[in-house]
Structure 1
Amino acid sequence: MVFLLVGCGGNNETEPSDTKNDSNMNEESQQEKESDSTEHASMDHSSSGEVPENLAKEDNPTYPLGSEAIMSAKHMKGMDGAVATIEGAYHTTVYAVTYKPTTGGEKVENHKWVIHEELENAEEAPYAEGDEVVLEADHMNGMDGANATIDSAQNTTVYMVSYKDTETKKVVKNHKWVTEDELSPVE
């Protein structure tokens, strides 16, 4: 997992070719990458592609597996306008949540998205705005096990997608989740 975080650290600077300072520059560059990956660890939205066992596949999704769509999601920089390849389509209740990371730091407000099957001991009925839950999602560092409040709930089709970040040009694999209303056909 660490290699993904470093790979998506966002450090786009190139090193000078001055050979007598290469050793120092490499050490400084590595420290910058490690620092940047720590600061931006929560922005790495790649995943293994594993989904909860009880997550229901969408039988007839608007965007079938392997098709492409344009994202209008703004969960993180580089998503809006990116061409997404559909890796999976599922029918569930999706939530925006506010939570305090288990790793410390600032409260994350209105995080989009966590699905019903990623909540600890989830009841059968969907949760409503204001309900308190415990997250089992691991999309971001400090999310798994965090206490959260439901900000909104929507019964819809969610998609796992892969795409090239429009800003960094890095490939994000198996991003969880994008809702159907955040996608539009490729023209």
Structure 2
Amino acid sequence: MCANRQTDLYAVLGGNPSDSVQQLRHRYQQLALQYHPDRLRGRCPTEMESAVNKFLEVEAAWRILSDQDTRRQYDVERRAQELKQGGPEDSAVNLEDMIWDQEDCVFTHCCRCGGRFCISEEELEEETGRMEQNGEEDESGRMQRGEEEAGQQRGMLVCCDTCSLSVYVTWALNRKTRSETSHLR
């Protein structure tokens, strides 16, 4: 939706996500008047160029945030990007320290909010395979924890099912799956 995903459109308008359309319109109108090229005639070329760029940025932000559908889509993408960026990461948890929930067929770890961090066997296998194919960096671009020392660790960020916290779950590359260990019994 937005060409530069790093740009917060609310910040461009000097607002925040809780602002109403009317509040954002007021901020947009003030900024549009301040940076409109017609109001800045006679200024030096670099000032003019900077103002035009700011005006275009404000105009683009308003175009997205003024429409209910595009604003909702932007908010969803913005929230997803925030979650992908790894924050707030509560801690690192080893898969061996998580509890196997036989009923839901997932590994779980309790969050301090009372929710759960859950990861299924399939997600573990899929993530391990993806990491082996795509190299050593995870979604946020950082090297896998413990990879340099052990050369055998894999991991992924898992979000709480109730709050916004997340944990980094690590596991050994050579670990046995639940189905492999059930055959041994």
Question: What's the TM-score once normalised by structure 1's chain length?
Answer: 0.28
Ranked by relative contact order (alpha carbons within 8 Å, sequence separation 6 or more), the top structure is 1
Higher helix content, 1 or 2 = 2
Q: Which has the larger radius of gyration?
A: 2
